[in-house]
Amino acid sequence: MKDDVGFMLPPVEKEGDTPVTTGGSGLPFAVTSKAENPDAAAAYIDFITNDDAMDVLAENGNMPVVGTAERKAADPLGDEIFAAFGEVSEKDGLTPYLDWATPTMGDTMGAGLQDMLAGKKDPKAAMETIEADYAEFTKE
């Protein structure tokens, strides 16, 4: 598509509002409390997320998630994507994917949507199933 394509964030209601979109950084790394070598694990996470690693990502056509807007992409469309991700990230407008709400939410939502489309459940019943999944996961 060359120059016949562009990228933009979803529009905001009024100028000055924070742009909001669903997404994720793609780097959900953590060191558990049971790690045998937490310092080594933390050093590895630092290695794969430092500025040099982000440069390598950008140079190879991937989107860096640290300092995204300041980096140069491989093409103009990539530059637009980098700028948009940088803006939404810096303004705290990145919201998690809905299926991240529980370990089973992707399956629960998928099944609920299929049941609605097949006429097996009305929207209210499908939402009740989704809420039950969430309530079960978050109960104390």
Q: Which pLDDT tens digit goes with each residue over 48-91? A: 889 999 999 998 888 888 888 889 888 889 999 999 998 998 89
With bands split at pLDDT 50, 70 and 90, how would you rate the model's confidence at 97? confident
Q: What is the mean pLDDT of residues 109-132?
A: 95
Identify which of 1, 4, 52, 53 has the alpha carbon closest to the alpha carbon of residue 27.
Answer: 53
Looking at residue 140, what is its pLDDT? 77
Q: Is the pLDDT of residue 135 over 90?
A: yes
H/E element holding 82?
helix 76-90
> Token digits for 43?
């050093």
Give all strands (DSSP E) within the chain, no chain letters.
Answer: 21-22, 94-95
Q: Is 88 exposed, middle or buried (0-12, 13-18, 19+ CB in 10 A)?
A: buried
CB 10 within 8 A of CB 91: no
